[in-house]
Amino acid sequence: MKVSAAGNSPNTDGIHVEKSIGVTLMNSKIGTGDDCVSIGPGTSNLWIENVSCGPGHGISIGSLGWDLQEPGVQNVTVKTVTFSGTENGVRVKTWARPSNGFVKYLLFQHAVMVNVENHIIIDQNYCPDDQKCPDQVSGVKISDITNQDIHGSSSTEIAMKLDCSKQYPCSDITLEDVKLTYNNEPAQSSCINADGKSSGLVQPNSCLCN
């Protein structure tokens, strides 16, 4: 498929998947003013492959955790994807408020990112435009996320931002063969309440707690 909207058009998610099992999205080109693909609560066994994203806000899981009782997201594979000039690459975003939601068993693999602001991002204090922010603590539990063979150039100095819940820190995050640059130099990373491991070449240097 080809999905197209102006890069400055608000709330134009290209494809939204929610409360769905076994969806496959392949061989598509998506350019929007919001998420190229947004993944909502109750999604499992989702497969995304050979997708080009840009412009847009990347491929995002969430936003999650607005409701206290909310089904989780699990078993999501995103592989062989290209991001060009996007605000984000692969992202998980949750509201900072109580919730019994969860995100687990994600694989982001074989991604090329060109002039992307935030390549790998977990934002558990999500609040667009900083308006009416809940300013609590996210109850969404995030675990078992693998980022493998991700390369590209960043338009910002910090290419990887993992801002996790202080009540439920992110766990079992894996970085493997990641190389992200800023002005032809290794980019930087920022981690808060994020545990995991790294292997192979990882640039920027991993900030995960073991």
Q: Helix/strand/coil (H, E, C) string of 139-188?
A: CCEEEEEEEEEEEEEECCCEEEEEECCCCCCEEEEEEEEEEEEECCEECE
pLDDT at 210: 76
pLDDT at 132: 87
Catalytic residue numbers? 57
Cβ count near 36 (within 10 Å): 29
pLDDT at 129: 84
List, in sequence order, every residue forming a beta bridge with 143; answer none if it has no partner: 104, 171
pLDDT at 131: 85
Torsion, Cα of 111, 148, 49, 17 (10° steps): -100
Torsion, Cα of 95, 97, 103, 106 (10° steps): 30
pLDDT at 45: 98
Q: Locate tokens 């939601």: which residue?
A: 101
| pTM of the entire predicted model | 0.96
Cβ count near 1 (within 10 Å): 11
∠ CA 8-153-52, nearest 5°, is 55
Low-confidence residues in the chain, pLDDT < 50: none
pLDDT at 200: 95
